[in-house]
């Protein structure tokens, strides 16, 4: 969304279920999304192109994601038995 005009800048068809979290990389060049479909996607923030294949492997809803301060790592969190949150390293990318 353009904060000046209020117009949508990108329309990304990212997931097949509810999107739970959206995170921007520290440099603002990448967007990561996670969903109840148990998938994480990483996108180019300028043009909306997917940068990596779908990051799959979670056994439950992916509720949170965050880039590391340097932008080289992405962590994700899922709920296990509705009690605790587990974070896992998905992939190191450049």
- Please report the pLDDT score of residue 79 as a whole number: 60
Residue 55's beta-bridge partner residues? Answer: 40
pTM over 0.75: no
pLDDT category, 85, cuts 50, 70, 90?
very low
The region of weakest confidence among 40-44, 71-75, 88-92 is: 88-92
pLDDT band at residue 26 using 50, 70 and 90 as cut-offs:
very high
| Residue 58: closest CA among 7, 15, 1, 93 | 15
Q: Where are the domains of the chain?
A: 19-92
Instruction: For the beta carbon of residue 56, count every other beta carbon within 10 angstroms.
Output: 11
Q: What is the mean pLDDT of residues 35-49?
A: 88
């Amino acid at each position: 969304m353009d904060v000046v005009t209020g117009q949508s800048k990108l329309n990304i068809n990212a997931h097949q279920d509810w999107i739970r979290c959206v995170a921007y990389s520290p440099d603002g060049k990448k967007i990561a999304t996670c969903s109840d479909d148990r998938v994480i996607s990483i996108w180019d923030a300028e043009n909306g192109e997917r940068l990596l294949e779908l990051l799959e492997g979670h056994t439950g809803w992916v509720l949170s994601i965050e880039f590391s301060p340097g932008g080289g790592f992405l962590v994700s969190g899922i709920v296990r038995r509705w009690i605790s949150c587990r974070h896992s390293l998905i992939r190191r990318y450049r």
